[in-house]
Structure 1
């Protein structure tokens, strides 16, 4: 059994990394009440973690190739543990948000090295088994997050969703030190620090602009200034990558329509399928009176459907063109969100969402297994590792931007549903304060109407994102990919769903 210790070390890290994406969702109302934070603060608690992951994934991979993957993985575990401790002890929203960002730094180091560590530790059939187990753990983590978060929040308090990481990190460090050997790329070059800085500023400014748009309006001076800063930073990033001697991202990859399609799919899969869950959780707990565990269980149908379908997709869908599985999956995600919008009325509760959540989960399970294989198959083999890192970045950025965009839509929908109520009422509802407002006689009717309006508009936008993404994938992947030499998907429409026991390049990089 000693040979499976490296797999154990990597899986513990992967489980924590992904659970912390979703575990916070059901704890948000308790955080808001305890820390007296508003809607924007809750968005940042979710967003900053995904933003740090997105901004640092490629840079962490480059650093690991240069100084050692085991060393960077261990560093990521230590940073993640320390940040989790401070998050659990945080006395205010500022400290919590800051150290959620530090958590994302540690998570990026762990995510960027997981596949490389497994590749270096196993060969042949053992490698296929290792990646199969790793993929299953990723899926289980996504499903377990809301339930684990609900249990910890309800029985021990929300701070324990962070404290629970400490013993897991300690175990992962011990097993890594004992069983994982060091590996690096002898041809690795230096870090692209200007590129990392420009991308981080651009992603952060864009997310902040979207959050401020929900508070101050799309045409406010602060919102427009942040959009301008984001545009300038992304333009600088493109220039740095084009002219730099050690670019973090080879922009020539985007000459392949198939690669562009997969990046769009990665971005919109996360944005359309998962970003609205925090607003659903706020509604279920603050307006419907559900416990954190109950809210977590109400969100599980999507995760279970995605896990079940993804587990069988490799066998059942093997051989189908990736444009059909990825594009079709996104269309199902969009249809699932629109189904939730159509079935939810004022006064309804969580059962109205279940059919749509299940349909969305099926779409996620159909599309995700072939995303990474298609990204790598659309580029030359020498760029396969970079392609996987870019896909991971797109998916995390999709989560961050999706939370910000849908937050603005949700808040606007609350205002519309409240009719003549003051704007401060919508702010209170968005921050989880429905319980206090429901003490007012006659408030139930307008609280229900406001949440129904806010969630319906959120689901409509999510559905539109899914449908647009699905159509873009189907159209772009019909065209031959330029420069996709030697990959499984050298032609955009020829990329196939990977077999379930494939080599690492055929494995999903990071399920949401």
Structure 2
């Protein structure tokens, strides 16, 4: 049993940081009521975590290469536990958002090192088993997050969705100290300029989108935010072009298949997950469901995704990525459009067909996306490639939350409307955009991956060998 202690330690940390992406969804109405938060502040409660995670995961991998993966993983656990305590004790929206941002720092440190730690610990068949289990646990986190968030919010209080991380972090820290070897250290090289410019681009753009939906698209604040975001993006491209050890080698974008995977990763998060907070608000605010009932009502998507990922992984092992990734995005888009069935008099069961179809797409895309990206690049750059796909997914999620939330606010009103018709109109607008993004993204992805893009390889086979900045998502 001691042989699998490192796997348990890695899976606990990964599971914890991934459920924190979705665990807040069903608690948002209670948080808003308790802290007196605005709709835009609730968007930041979700986005602050995803943005920081997206911005820092590659940098955390670089730091781990220099000072040791075990050390960075342990530091990440401590930061995550401390910020979870701060989030649970927050007395106003600003404190909660700040704590969520620090949580993202800890999550990036953990996420950037788990696969490398497993790769260094296991060999041969055991390595394949470890990667498979890790991938399954990662895939299940989204579904468990919404249910666990509902249970804790219903039975205890919304603050316990953060407090629950503390005992898990303590156990994971103890297991990690005895399970993982310290490992070799390399030269510490961190692209500070790349991290700063990318973070500025992501934060300013997200702020501009949220502010535009809340205060108007022609306000000075909105325009300045977009201007800063654009300038930061240009600066990031320039910085990465001249850096000797860039955070993201721009030359990878010349590989069409890899570029397709990056685009697909961002679109995947927008179309599949960015509308879930709005769905939660509708179920609780309009249908009167409890947080637990809301979590259970949202289960069809992750359950179907888990089943499809397991069955599809075997049946579609040799299928080209244009089939699994591109086809999966078409399912995600179609399922999001299926949520347009929601009307003023609808109940939660109306969401089942759409959620099931989205789940099929998620099950197809999730396991294949990283493997397709890794298969498209040279082995020495596999870690950077996998980390870049993860960054695109988190950035897509953060921007998707901002875009769909702003669309909802613009159509339905800046605050939760009293008229159920207005509320549903806002939902429909958000679902329509998510659906169109998914369908168009699927078509673009199929075109980019093409017939000659190669075959999907198993995630375990695609795991990095000599590049340790890998992050693979199930």
| Cα deviations by residue, 1:71-119 (Å, 9 ceiling, x for unpaired) | 0000000000000001000111100000100000000000000100000
- 2:415 alignment counterpart: 427
1:444-468 deviation digits (Å, cap 9, x = unpaired) = xx3x212211111111000011011
CA contact (8 A) 2:371 2:462 kept: no
- TM-score, length basis structure 1: 0.90
CA distance in 2, matches of 1:256, 1:501: 22
> What pairs with 1:212-251 in structure 2 (closer than 5 Å)?
212-251=211-250
> 1:414-440: CA deviations, max 9, x gaps?
14xxxxxxxxxx5134xxxxxxx5xxx
- In 2, Cα distance between equivalents of 1:391 and 1:501: 16
Deviation sequence 1:322-361 (CA, Å, 0-9, x none): 01110000011000011111x1111102111110000001
Do the aligned partners of 1:210 and 1:223 also contact (CA within 8 Å) in 2?
Answer: yes
After superposition, the Cα gap between the structure-2 partners of 1:472 and 1:508, relative to the gap in structure 1 and judged at 3 Å, is farther
User: Do 1:75 and 1:106's aligned partners in 2 also have CA atoms closer than 8 Å?
Assistant: yes
Deviation digits for residues 192-228 of structure 1, max 9, x if unmatched?
A: 1011011011100000011011012222221111111
Cα distance in 1 for partners of 2:460, 2:82 equals: 36
- 8 Å CA contact retained: 1:189, 1:246: no
1:153 aligns with 2:153: yes
Matched with 2:289 is 290
State TM-score, norm by structure 2: 0.97
User: Does the Cα contact within 8 Å between 2:382 and 2:464 map onto a contact in 1?
Assistant: yes
Distance 1:367 1:510 in 2: 10
2:434 aligned with 1:462: yes
Q: Assess if the C-alpha contact under 8 Å between 1:128 and 1:503 holds in 2.
A: no
The 1:43–1:427 alpha-carbon spacing in structure 2 relative to 1, beyond 3 Å, is same
Q: Which residue of 2 aligns with 1:482?
A: none
Equivalent residue pairs, number: 470
Give yes or no for contact 2:206–2:398 (8 Å, CA) kept in 1.
yes
User: In 2, distance between residues paired with 1:313 and 1:279?
Assistant: 29
CA distance in 1, matches of 2:401, 2:93: 18
> Where does residue 457 of structure 2 map in the other structure?
498
Alignment of 1:108-507 (within 5 A): 108-184=108-184, 186=186, 188-341=187-340, 343-415=341-413, 426-429=414-417, 446=419, 448-478=420-450, 491-492=452-453, 494=454, 496-499=455-458, 502=461, 504-505=463-464
Deviation >6 Å, runs of 4+: none
The offset of 1:185, in angstroms, is 5.3
Kept in 1: contact 2:47–2:401 (CA 8 A): yes
Give the CA RMSD over aligned residues: 1.5
Measure, in 2, the Cα distance between the counterparts of 1:500 and 1:48. Answer: 29
Larger radius of gyration: 1
Q: Which runs of 5+ in 1 are unaligned?
A: 416-425, 430-436, 438-445, 480-490
| 1:324 counterpart SS class | helix
Q: CA deviation at 1:22?
A: 0.4
1: CA distance, partners of 2:217 / 2:312: 41
Give CA deviations for 1:378-433 in whole Å, capped at 9, x if unaligned. Answer: 11111000000000100000110000000011112214xxxxxxxxxx5134xxxx
